[in-house]
Amino acid sequence: MLPWTLYSRGYKKDRAAPLCVFLHGWMGSHSDWEPIVSQMPIEMSYLLLDLPGHGKSVPIPPQESLDFDNLADSLHEHLQEYQRYTLVGYSMGGRLALYYTLKYPHAVDSLILESCQPGIQEPEARLSRATLDTQRAEQIVEAGLSQFVEHWYKAPLFRSLHQQPNQLKQLQRRREQNHESSMPRTSRELSPGRQPSLWNHLSSLSAPTLLLTGKQDPKYPTLMQLMHKQIPHSHLKIEPHAGHNVHLETPEAWQRIVCDFLTFSLPT
């Protein structure tokens, strides 16, 4: 089984409070969500995870298959005791949350997707993205993780983060603490160019879904508007003062939007 590390915040088996499960993005860790969870104004339980190869999870064993199907299955094994929950995913974690919900719809009460996509449909675009992520994996091996992280956050996708230099420095330090041996594999094998495209399955999504991104993100507002048109029971929120990482850049706005959604979407 792929290695995960789970961190429970306020969960008790005899407690009726709804449970939120948080999945971070590529090169992230559970600590990305800690400030958010500590300030959530509604009564819930929380489960924060380090994805395989990330944070304090052990390096991914070479013999383990790393793809979205195996990732979803191994996540389901780790979540067996929790029965039903809201799944929250950011970026790569959002792609996994969507894949998981389509594969295990009975387990998910509601779904919150931040700055993510359902994969890529066009064959040429899939090949181009897969090639790019393979090149990124090679850059990590050749230059080292620290140098790659510095280069990574100069991308246009993260331009708005540079308005908060202290937050950006802390974020980069956390990224540098990941397993250097696992990051090339996750870049290459979990690329949007290699995961199955889920665009044709969005209409079958039954869970109430919140789609959240930042207006200053140069890519994802358009993608999530397209998703919104295809997902039944979906709500789209575009935060005007944030870019790709809404929960880091505007945490109070993120909390307000998410709590409003949960108040009306969770079963009573």
pLDDT tens track for 117-134: 999 999 999 999 999 999
Q: Which amino acid is at 102?
A: L
| Domain 5-122+196-265 in CATH 3.40.50.1820 | yes
Element at 213 (helix H, strand E) = strand 209-214
The pLDDT confidence band at residue 144, using thresholds 50, 70 and 90, is very high
pLDDT (tens digit per residue) in 178-210: 989 999 999 999 999 999 999 999 999 999 999
Query: Which range has highest mean pLDDT (5-9, 14-18, 212-216, 258-262)?
Result: 212-216
The pLDDT confidence band at residue 267, using thresholds 50, 70 and 90, is low
Task: Say what the pLDDT of residue 44 is.
Answer: 84
Maximum CA extent, the chain: 53
How far apart (Å, rounded) are the C-alpha atoms in residues 181 and 260? 40
Task: Say what the pLDDT of residue 139 is.
Answer: 97
Q: Work out whether the CA dihedral 150, 154, 155, 158 comes out positive or negative.
A: positive
How far apart (Å, rounded) are the C-alpha atoms in residues 103 and 81? 18
* Tokens (6 digits) for 164: 């908060």
Helix (H, G, I), strand (E, B) or coil at 209: strand
- Range in 9-18, 29-38, 250-259 the model is least confident about: 9-18
* In the chain, % of residues over pLDDT 70: 97
- Range in 4-18, 161-175, 189-203 the model is least confident about: 4-18
Structural domain boundaries of the chain?
A: 5-122+196-265
Element at 88 (helix H, strand E) = strand 85-90
**End-to-end distance of the chain based on CA atoms, in angstroms?**
35
How far apart (Å, rounded) are the C-alpha atoms in residues 25 and 48? 12
**Quick check: 14 pLDDT over 60?**
no
